C-alpha cells in the first residue's frame, strides 16, 4: 500500500515538472498508462478559453436570475418605476428625434428601442400646461401695458384647464389609437401595433415642440403667431405620421388614410383650441367701460333740443 502511494507521488511530481517545462502542451501525468488506472488527464490551453467559458457561465447565471425574479404587479409602485428609469442623454435624444422627423426614420425603433419611458412625456405635458397658463396671463398683462384702459385680473383657472386638456389628450387619444390598431391586428394578421406605453411615449414627446412655440406666441403679431403655430403643428404631426406609417401601411389604403387623417386632425384641433382659448382677444368685461353722459362736454349737455313751432 505504501509502495502504491509512493509511486503515485512520483508520478504526480513528474507531471508537475512536465507542465512547468511545456505549459502550452497537452500532456498526461507521465505516460499514457495513467488514464486506464483512473487518473485524470490535465489539458492546458493557451488560447484563454477558460476565461470565455467563465464569462458565458456568468451570463447564463445572470439570465436565470432575471427569469426567476418575480415581476411586480401593475398596481405596485415597482411596476411603474422602470418606466422612469432613464437618464438625461436618453431623454435629450428622444426630444431631438421628435424635433427632427424625417421619412423612413421610425421614432419607436430608432429612439425608444423597446424601452418606452413616462418620465419625458410626464414633464413635457406638465411644462406645456404651465407655459400655456402663464403665457395666457402674460398676454393680458402686456395688452394692459399697451392700453391702460384694459382691466386685468389673474386667471388661475387656466392652469387647471391646460393640465386637464393636455394630459387627457396624451392618454385618451393614444388609448383609442392603440385599441383600434389591436382590433385591426385581428383583421390584418401582418400588422404589428406598438404597445400602449410606446404610443403614449410618442405622443408625449411630439408635444415638446409646442413649448417654445407657445412662448413665441407672446409676440403681438397675429400672422406671426399663426406661422409659428403652423410650423410646430407640421413638425409634431410629422413625428406621429412617420411613426405610425410602418404599422398602418399593411392595412388597406382607405383605413390607413382615414387613420392618419384623424391623427393629424386631432393634433390640429388641440393646437388651434389652445391658441383660441389661451390667446383669444380680450372679452368685453376686460375693456374700459364706455363713455358716460357725465364725460361729455358741457355744451352738448346744456344745448336745448329744438322744439316744433305751433301755429
Task: Give the three cell numbers for residue 83.
Answer: 418606466
Q: Write down the pLDDT at residue 36.
A: 46
> What average pLDDT does the segment 254-280 reach?
93
Give me the domain span that covers residue 189. Answer: 88-279
What is the band of 192 on the pLDDT scale with cuts at 50, 70, 90? low
Q: What is the mean pLDDT of the chain?
A: 75
Secondary structure class of 27 (helix, strand, coil)? strand
Assigned domain for 170 exists: yes
Task: Tell me the C-alpha distance between 162 and 207, whole Å.
Answer: 13
Pick the residue with more confidence: 310 or 239? Answer: 239
Q: Which residue has the cell 400672422?
A: 223
Burial class (CB in 10 A: 0-12, 13-18, 19+), 133: buried
Assigned domain for 202 exists: yes
Q: Does pLDDT of 37 surpass 70?
A: no
Q: Write down the pLDDT at residue 29.
A: 42
Assigned domain for 139 exists: yes
Assigned domain for 309 exists: no
Burial class (CB in 10 A: 0-12, 13-18, 19+), 223: exposed
- List Cβ neighbours of 107 (8 Å cut-off, separation of 6 or more): 94, 97, 98, 101, 202, 205, 239, 242, 243
- List Cβ neighbours of 105 (8 Å cut-off, separation of 6 or more): 97, 242
What is the band of 43 on the pLDDT scale with cuts at 50, 70, 90? very low
List pLDDT tens digits, range 118-130.
899 999 999 999 9
Assigned domain for 30 exists: no
Assigned domain for 204 exists: yes
Assigned domain for 39 exists: no
Q: Does pLDDT of 153 surpass 90?
A: no
Assigned domain for 73 exists: no
Q: Is the pTM of this model over 0.85?
A: no
Task: Tell me how many domains the chain contains.
Answer: 1
List pLDDT tens digits, range 237-251.
999 999 999 888 888
Amino acid at each position: 500500500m505504501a509502495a502504491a502511494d509512493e509511486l503515485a507521488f512520483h508520478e504526480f511530481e513528474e507531471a508537475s515538472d512536465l507542465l512547468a517545462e511545456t505549459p502550452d502542451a497537452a500532456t498526461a501525468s507521465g505516460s499514457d498508462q495513467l488514464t486506464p488506472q483512473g487518473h485524470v488527464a490535465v489539458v492546458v490551453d493557451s488560447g484563454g478559453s477558460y476565461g470565455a467559458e467563465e464569462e458565458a457561465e456568468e451570463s447564463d447565471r445572470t439570465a436565470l436570475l432575471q427569469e426567476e425574479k418575480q415581476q411586480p404587479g401593475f398596481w405596485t409602485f415597482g411596476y411603474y418605476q422602470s418606466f422612469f428609469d432613464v437618464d438625461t442623454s436618453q431623454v435629450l435624444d428622444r426630444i431631438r428625434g421628435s424635433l427632427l422627423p424625417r421619412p423612413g426614420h421610425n421614432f419607436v425603433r430608432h429612439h425608444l428601442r423597446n424601452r418606452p419611458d413616462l418620465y419625458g412625456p410626464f414633464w413635457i405635458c406638465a411644462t406645456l400646461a404651465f407655459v400655456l397658463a402663464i403665457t395666457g396671463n402674460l398676454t393680458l398683462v402686456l395688452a394692459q401695458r399697451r392700453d391702460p384702459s384694459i382691466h386685468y385680473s389673474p386667471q388661475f383657472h387656466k392652469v387647471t384647464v391646460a393640465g386637464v386638456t393636455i394630459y387627457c389628450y396624451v392618454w385618451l387619444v393614444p388609448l383609442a389609437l392603440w385599441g383600434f390598431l389591436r382590433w385591426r391586428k385581428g383583421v390584418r394578421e401582418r400588422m404589428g401595433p406598438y404597445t400602449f406605453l410606446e404610443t403614449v411615449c410618442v405622443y408625449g414627446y411630439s408635444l415638446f415642440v409646442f413649448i417654445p412655440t407657445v412662448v413665441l406666441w407672446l409676440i403681438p403679431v397675429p400672422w406671426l403667431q399663426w406661422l409659428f403655430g403652423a410650423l410646430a403643428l407640421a413638425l409634431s404631426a410629422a413625428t406621429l405620421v412617420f411613426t405610425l406609417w410602418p404599422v398602418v401601411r399593411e392595412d388597406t389604403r382607405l383605413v390607413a388614410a382615414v387613420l392618419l387623417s384623424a391623427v393629424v386632425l386631432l393634433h390640429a384641433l388641440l393646437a388651434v383650441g389652445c391658441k383660441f382659448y389661451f390667446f383669444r382677444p380680450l372679452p368685453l368685461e376686460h375693456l374700459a367701460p364706455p363713455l358716460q353722459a357725465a364725460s361729455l362736454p358741457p355744451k352738448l349737455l346744456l344745448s336745448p333740443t329744438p322744439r316744433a313751432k305751433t301755429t
